[in-house]
Amino acid sequence: MTTSVTVSRIRRRQIAQLIANGMRLDGRGLTEYREIKIERGLIERAEGSAKVSLGRTIVLVGVKVGVGEPYSDRPNEGVLTVNSELVPLASPEFEAGPPGEESIELARVVDRGIRESKSIALEELCIIPGKKVFIIFVDVYVLNHDGNLIDASAMAALAALLNTKIFNYEVEDGEVKIKPGFKPLPVKDYPIAVTLAEIDGKLVVDPWLDEEEVMNARITFAFDKEGRICAIQKGGSGFFTKEQVLEAMRIAREKAAELRKLVVEG
Amino acid sequence: MTQRVYEKLIDEEGKRVDGREWNELRPIKIEVGVLNNADGSAYIEQGKNKILAAVYGPREAHPRHLTLPDRALLRCRYHMAPFSVEERKSPAPSRREIELSKVIREALEPAIFLEHYPRTAIDLFIEILQADGGTRCAGITVASLALADAGIPMRDLVVACAAGKVGDRIVLDLNDVEDKEGEADVPIAFMPNLNAVTLLQMDGTLTPEEFEQAVNLAIEGCRQIYKMQKDALKARYLAIKKEVEEQ
């Protein structure tokens, strides 16, 4: 299989023709994910971590917990920050340097799912109101790019948060003192992102790299555990009809429930 | 401007904080051809939003290695003025602005015949002079007019509008307070003649049924603004016609 992201016209046509007949080049059905593998807690130095393989896409997420100042408009809440790194070892297309728009978009879509589903009980992460709170740093590290980074990253982020522990502490004279022992990070909801690509009028879930090259546009829906939508992002320079948007939402909602079982129940 | 704290986002009579009905747009004023140097430009006021868009190009792309052999490169910069929001915003592009620049570009790309101008660049600048919620949508609405004013051939005008959930109601065109205090915000960009959704985002939480309502309402809002867009464009052409005839 090719590692180049330029897809020849013949291959482009082949991908589109197969999809028109309900098939895909890698043998999957249109609404079938690639094989998903999840490894948890593999980085001991991080308070939480997980590695997700989605076919040949590999994403590692590390969660670090720090203590810092809350946002001035939310003095009683912990802080969540999501960052992503498209490191050059992951793809011939990635270059070192400050984060580009791809990487910023990836981090912000993962962030939106976690934040809007109120997955982390941030109000339980306040240490001294207005002064000291826990800061949860979620760092998405892409190790091999073979398409659909959003879904892989969102799953890895959730899996990592689910095994994140925060240290015990006591407050002495306004200072935070670390005490032995840990407790789990309060995770209340399990947001799952599902991405679909539009190729020649058809919708396919979990596009791999060649399909991303061929697709007109993609759309990501994140769902909370109640099946409510908690984030949406359309990407790519094509468009969806209104009917396609609603169909994509229905497919995504079904797939999200399946994926959630894998991530949460493991 | 100091922010008022509202007890209820929808009052007993179903009116919103600014007195609007659930399906009512804010007052909109659009003007096309407002800047001399730019190849195309437009200005919009939507509620307290005040936004300028300018287009340069198609022109030679710099740096040249970015050029595409088969189509024009569309570049988009969504930028907020430091004085456009309550607390001064650093003029350096934030992560939010970088993301919005990307999704706005991808909302406009499907409309433009980029393949007519290979090896060139079309630069689009959107400056938010004052922000009042829904700036990405108003920015897209005004940007597609600036593109049209620059004479760039397009499949349709792109028009954008948000719907969302505020105080348990699905409402149209959220303002700043509703955006911040409300339960969900769904911005949509649309090409009415092609039934094409070119931007779709959401934050907050909605059930699938609420989402469908919001999409329908936002598209209805888009259709209303689309008329104003076309009127603004016609007004510009009539002004040019008059100028020519007077000479």
Whether A211 contacts A28, CB under 8 Å: no
Among the partner-chain residues B110, B202, B205, the one whose CB lies closest to the CB of A117 is B205
Burial (0-12, 13-18, 19+ Cβ within 10 Å), A179: exposed
Q: What is the pLDDT of residue B6?
A: 67
Amino acid symbol at A88:
P
**Where exactly are the structural domains of chain A?**
9-265
Q: What is the pLDDT of residue B1?
A: 44
Q: What is the pLDDT of residue A3?
A: 39
Among the partner-chain residues A217, A224, A231, the one whose CB lies closest to the CB of B203 is A231
Superfamily of B28-246 according to CATH: GHMP Kinase, N-terminal domain (3.30.230.70)
The predicted complex's ipTM stands at 0.89
Q: State how far the Cα of B185 lies from the Cα of B172, in Å rounded to an integer.
A: 10
| B58 prior amide bond cis, ω within 30 | yes
Q: Is pLDDT above 70 for B189?
A: yes
**Where exactly are the structural domains of chain B?**
28-246
Q: Is pLDDT above 60 for B30?
A: yes
Q: What is the pLDDT of residue A4?
A: 45
Task: Kindly write down the DSSP assignment for every residue of B40-51, as one continuous string.
Answer: EEEEEEETTEEE
- Chain A and chain B share a number of CB contacts under 8 A equal to 92
pLDDT tens digits, residue range A234-249? 999 999 999 999 999 9
Among residues B43, B69, B40, the alpha carbon closest in space to that of B57 is found at B40
Q: Stretch B88-103: mean pLDDT, rounded?
A: 96
CA B117 to chain CA centroid, Å, is 24
Q: What is the pLDDT of residue A2?
A: 37
Q: CA of A228: which chain B residue's CA is closest? A: B207
Low-confidence ranges of chain A (pLDDT < 50): 1-4
Q: What is the pLDDT of residue A6?
A: 66
Q: Is pLDDT above 70 for B176?
A: yes
Token digits for A152?
A: 């892989």
Contact A232 B219 (CB under 8 A): no
pLDDT tens digits, residue range B45-80? 999 999 999 999 999 999 999 999 999 999 999 999
Task: Kindly write down the DSSP assignment for every residue of B108-168, as one continuous string.
Answer: HGGGB-GGGSTTEEEEEEEEEEE--S-HHHHHHHHHHHHHHHTT--BSS--EEEEEEEETT
Whether B123 contacts B57, CB under 8 Å: yes
Whether B147 contacts B40, CB under 8 Å: yes
Token digits for A146?
A: 């073979």
Which residues of chain A make contact with B199, given a CB cutoff of 8 A? 234
Q: Give domain A9-265's CATH number out of 3.30.230.70, 3.50.50.60, 3.40.50.300, 3.40.50.2300.
A: 3.30.230.70
Q: State how far the Cα of B43 lies from the Cα of B54, in Å rounded to an integer.
A: 9
Q: State how far the Cα of A4 lies from the Cα of A105, in Å rounded to an integer.
A: 23
